[in-house]
Each structure stands twice: as structure tokens, then as C-alpha cells.
């Protein structure tokens, strides 16, 4: 592993200043992704700025009935928080569907959102990869892509974003709070992760030196039922082939509110806006749910070996919505 410096800043301001003055620096959360990538030679930061001692470890209700989650809140703590379990069960379910107990005890909210793709070529420095080294090519497109994207991919990259938490946050209309050298800003989770387009090396819209300080959830829609379901090769300790975070409100047999976000299908959590448009004010029936899934998945462009994901996503959508009705 390449030698690196280590800094434990006392404040957010000091952390951001250090990030801005060391272009090769990386913020260190639980390290469960970053340190693995350093061992593989994929990440070679000159400086690690450990943010886990900053006062960003609180989960607090907001004045409007929502919730503000600090960036260093551990995944286990967030999953177990009484207000999350009560108002945002889809979040608890998504977190508990990810990784292992030990990893969740260490992994942070901010680090989870910024975890890198699990594309095997990205993790192997002996192979070309546009995401790791721009302009070198995308061997996954013709190679091992069974687990990779069917929606929103480009000629340059067909990777998927691996976070379960991100899909739940996208369905809940959460926002990311950022603190950077140029000040503070907020970005909706649905606009935080990017599609690969011409520059797959950029996973998100985060700017150099910006620190995630919190994630804010609006109040959960009144009377909503919520579910996160993840389909994977093993029953645990595996990334999603397809997952779905769903928030559904049904009144008098009709869909009043629906928010759906897929994981495992694209370079970002995929908010299913075409499906939501079909669901709005429609009868809450399996037929409607099948039409909604078809509307969303009409945009799918499967590769040679991953067309099965489109069918999985279709059946998952109908099953999850039927269960929530
Ligand atoms: C074996 C294994 C199985 C896993 N299975 C799953 C799974 O099924 N589902 C799933 O969702 N995840 C899974 N994970 C991934 C795991 O959830 C992530 O590694 C973890 O959430 C990352 O959080 P962290 O705090 O450890 O991040 P780190 O590794 O510390 O950081 C990750 C990235 O985020 C950046 N970063 C960290 N905090 C901040 C911040 N506050 N502001 C700006 N940048 C920041 C770092 O610089 C780095 O680039 C698995 C991991 C392993 C090792
Ligand atoms: S899919 Fe993306 S991450 Fe994987 S090899 Fe291609 S460019 Fe790299």
C-alpha cells in the first residue's frame, strides 16, 4: 500500500480546509470501502482525513416532522433508531439488507452513499476501466457484466451503484447536506448520484473537497406503507441483483402516493418516475402494478448476459406493491 498521511480534524471547518489544501486527500468514514480499495491499489490517497470524531453522529427530528441524520451515524445505529423504525421502516430494512453486522457497526451514512461500484474490472488494477482510469475503455461491456446495469448506462460504463441505503433514501426524497470550500449546499439524493455518460469516473455531483455533513428526510407521507426488498444470489452478505424501495399510500382502493426506487439496475439509485406516473390515482391492483413496471422498464437496455434483471425487476415491482396494498 502506498504511504499516506493521517489527520483527525477537530471541526468540520478544519476537515474541509484540509481537504481543499491536499488535492489527493480522502475523507475517512468507517473505511470499509476506502481501505479495501487502498489495499487493492485502486485508491491511492496521500492523506486520510478521519471524520468519525466530528460532531456529525446525531440523528435528530427536524421541526417539520422529518429527520436529520449526521454523516458519521453508523449504519447499525441508524437502522435501530426508534424514529427510523417507526416512520421510515424502508430505511431500516434497506440497511439491514446490506453487508454484515460487523460492517454495519463500522460503516457510516456518508461513506455508504459514496461507496464505489463492485464492477470486477474497477477493482482490478491490471485491467482497463474508464471509471478508474478515464479513456482506457470498458471491458465489462463485452466481458463479465451479469450483475451490471440495464438502465441508464453508456458506451463508457455499465457499472451499478451498490448501496442499499441510497435506494431507500431516493424513495424517501431525502437530501444530502454538503459543506465545501465554497460553502454549504443541499442536493436531493435523486440528483446526487450520476449516470455514467461521458465521464464515469465521477460517481456523484460532489465537488472536490466537499464533505457530506448530514442527510435530511422529509416527513414520511401520511399513512404510507413501506417496503425494501432485495433480490441477490445469496440470502445474505451479497449485493443486490435488483432491489426495490417502495413507499405507497392507498386510499379507497386507489393509489394516492407512490415513490419507488430501484437498486442494482443502474449507475445511481433509479427513481421509477414512469412507474409512479402510471400508479398515481390508479386502482391499486396487480394489473396496475404490472403496467407501472412495464412503463418503467421500457427504457431498459440489457446487455448480453443480464436481461434476466429486467424480468426480475418487473416481478419484484408487482410483488412488493401487492404486498403493500
Ligand atoms: C464484504 C462487504 C459486503 C458489503 N455488502 C453491502 C451490501 O450488501 N449493501 C451495501 O449497501 N453495502 C455493502 N457493503 C458496502 C458497505 O456498506 C460500505 O463499505 C460502507 O457503507 C461504506 O461506509 P464507510 O463509512 O466505511 O465508508 P468509507 O470506506 O470510509 O468511505 C467510502 C467513500 O466515502 C468517502 N467518505 C466517507 N465519509 C465521507 C463524508 N462524510 N463526506 C465525504 N466523503 C466521505 C470516502 O472518502 C470514500 O471515498 C459491503 C462491504 C463489504 C466490505
Ligand atoms: S462498467 Fe464501468 S467500472 Fe466496470 S469496467 Fe466498465 S468503466 Fe469500469
Cell output for 293 = 413496471
115 lines ligand 1 (CB under 6 A): yes
Per residue in 78-94, pLDDT tens?
999 999 999 999 999 99
CA of 120 to the centre of ligand 2 (A): 8
Euclidean distance between CA atoms 151 and 120, whole angstroms:
19
CB 109 within 8 A of CB 34: no
End-to-end CA distance of the chain: 52
Question: Which residues of the chain are under the pLDDT cut of 70?
Answer: none
| 22 C-beta neighbours (distance < 10 Å), count | 16
Residues 6 or more apart in contact with residue 45 via CB below 8 angstroms: 4, 24, 25, 26, 34, 38
H or E stretch at 293: helix 286-297
CB 196 within 8 A of CB 156: yes
pLDDT at residue 2, rounded to an integer: 85
1, 74, 168, 226 from 111: Cα distances, Å: 21, 10, 15, 24
CA of 112 to the centre of ligand 1 (A): 4
Which among 170, 199, 203 has a CA at the least distance from the CA of 270?
170
CB 263 within 8 A of CB 166: yes
Q: Which atom of ligand 2 lies nearest, measured to the CA of 145? A: 1
**Atom 3, ligand 1: residue with shortest CA distance:** 99
pLDDT at residue 236, rounded to an integer: 87
pTM for the whole thing? 0.98
Q: Which atom of ligand 2 lies nearest, measured to the CA of 137? A: 7
CA of 42 to the centre of ligand 1 (A): 15
Q: Which atom of ligand 1 lies nearest, measured to the CA of 71? A: 41
| 237 C-beta neighbours (distance < 10 Å), count | 10
Radius of gyration of the chain (CA): 19
Per residue in 105-120, pLDDT tens?
999 999 999 999 999 9
pLDDT at residue 293, rounded to an integer: 98
Amino acid at each position: 500500500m502506498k504511504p499516506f498521511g493521517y489527520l483527525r480534524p477537530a471541526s468540520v471547518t478544519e476537515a474541509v480546509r484540509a481537504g481543499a489544501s491536499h488535492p489527493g486527500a480522502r475523507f475517512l468514514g468507517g473505511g470499509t470501502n476506502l481501505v479495501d480499495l487502498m489495499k487493492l491499489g485502486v485508491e491511492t490517497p496521500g492523506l486520510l482525513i478521519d471524520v468519525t470524531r466530528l460532531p456529525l453522529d446525531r440523528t435528530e427530528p427536524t421541526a417539520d416532522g422529518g429527520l436529520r441524520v449526521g454523516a458519521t451515524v453508523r449504519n447499525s445505529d441508524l437502522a435501530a433508531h426508534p424514529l427510523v423504525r417507526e416512520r421510515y421502516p424502508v430505511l431500516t430494512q434497506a440497511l439491514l439488507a446490506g453487508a454484515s453486522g460487523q460492517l454495519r457497526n463500522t460503516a457510516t451514512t456518508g461513506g455508504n452513499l459514496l461507496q464505489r461500484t463492485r464492477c470486477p474490472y474497477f477493482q482490478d488494477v491490471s485491467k482497463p476501466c474508464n471509471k478508474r482510469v478515464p479513456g482506457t475503455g470498458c471491458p465489462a461491456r463485452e466481458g463479465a457484466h451479469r450483475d451490471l446495469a440495464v438502465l441508464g448506462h453508456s458506451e463508457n460504463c455499465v457499472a451499478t451503484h451498490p448501496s442499499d441505503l441510497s435506494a431507500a433514501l431516493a424513495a424517501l426524497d431525502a437530501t444530502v447536506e454538503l459543506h465545501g470550500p465554497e460553502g454549504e449546499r443541499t442536493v436531493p439524493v435523486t440528483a446526487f448520484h450520476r449516470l455514467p455518460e461521458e465521464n464515469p469516473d465521477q460517481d456523484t455531483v460532489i465537488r472536490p473537497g466537499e464533505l457530506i455533513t448530514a442527510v435530511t428526510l422529509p416527513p414520511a407521507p401520511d399513512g404510507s406503507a413501506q417496503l425494501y426488498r432485495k433480490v441477490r444470489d445469496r440470502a445474505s452478505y451479497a449485493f443486490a441483483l435488483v432491489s426495490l424501495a417502495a413507499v405507497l399510500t392507498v386510499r379507497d382502493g386507489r393509489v394516492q402516493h407512490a415513490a419507488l426506487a430501484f437498486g442494482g439496475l443502474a449507475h445511481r439509485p433509479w427513481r421509477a418516475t414512469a412507474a409512479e406516473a402510471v400508479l398515481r390515482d390508479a386502482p391499486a391492483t396487480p394489473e396496475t402494478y404490472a403496467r407501472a413496471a412495464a412503463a418503467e422498464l421500457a427504457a431498459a437496455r440489457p446487455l448480453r448476459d443480464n436481461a434476466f434483471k429486467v424480468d426480475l425487476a418487473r416481478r419484484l415491482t408487482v410483488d412488493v406493491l401487492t404486498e403493500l396494498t
